[in-house]
Structure 1
């Protein structure tokens, strides 16, 4: 019985050593890159301010187009254009992840009655865009976390002021 017992113990030890060696070898392969590659984490979701930023960029582009078409309105159009450009920069700074480059779409002014001049039509279209933009900014401000609310409230107030200046 003693020799059978030793033989069984030897077999168990030898089998255990073989299994341990196989486990180490298979683990070592994955350590050296032979295993499956790690799965990258998913990209972060877009920032909730993306639509407001896009609208801000569109307003700036609309002002730029209006200024190009009506240089005689520079005294009325330049301050809002500069404000929208500054707002886009401020929004970009607080957003995470950093937003992509601006889209090159420019909103066009809707034609109005034939009794108005092209400059008056442009001002009316800008005023309507500012009113819509004010509503968007006010909604964003109301739903934003406190650290963003001050900037968004400032943007909403500026847009309301722009609409009045264009009247």
Structure 2
């Protein structure tokens, strides 16, 4: 009879251990999101996204200025091309597809296109953004952001 009680106790302990272990496993799996219906949180935006956004905005501003004043094309087109190159490289580093926006085909209606002075101010503001990104960037990104900051400073001087 002692043997039967001992066997029953062992079976119960084993059964309790298996049940508790199974419940713990299900809880752990539920906690990791395997059985969750909640959507994944959106990834945080990349720290270089503002630099990319400014590169695209500057390229578009140059395009508008050239469309409004075609005589400035020789002076402004290379600067717009620099910003497109920066945008492509930033997109690659961030890991997102480069925007495929083509230059605007006509000048904006109503408002006057960007003047050279407005472009210079935009370059100066964007240079500050790139310089700030360079100061906080990890080593593998500092060279790129530093180069972009330097190019933007050079563009601002070229627009004097």
Report the TM-score when normalising by structure 1: 0.67
Match of 1:9 in 2: 6
Bigger radius of gyration: 1
Equivalent residue pairs, number: 144
Indicate if the aligned counterparts of 1:142 and 1:149 stay in contact, CA closer than 8 A. yes
RMSD of Structure 2 on Structure 1 (CA): 3.4
Q: 1:21 and 1:122, CA in 2 relative to 1: closer, same or farther beyond 3 A?
A: closer
**d(CA) in 1 for partners of 2:133, 2:59:** 19
Match of 1:114 in 2: none
SS of the residue 1:161 aligns to: helix
**d(CA) in 1 for partners of 2:133, 2:18:** 61
Deviation at 1:133, TM superposition (A): 1.4
Q: 1:52 and 1:18, CA in 2 relative to 1: closer, same or farther beyond 3 A?
A: closer
SS of the residue 1:129 aligns to: helix
2:129 to 136, 144, 148: 136
Match of 1:115 in 2: none
Q: 1:12 and 1:101, CA in 2 relative to 1: closer, same or farther beyond 3 A?
A: same
Match of 1:160 in 2: 153
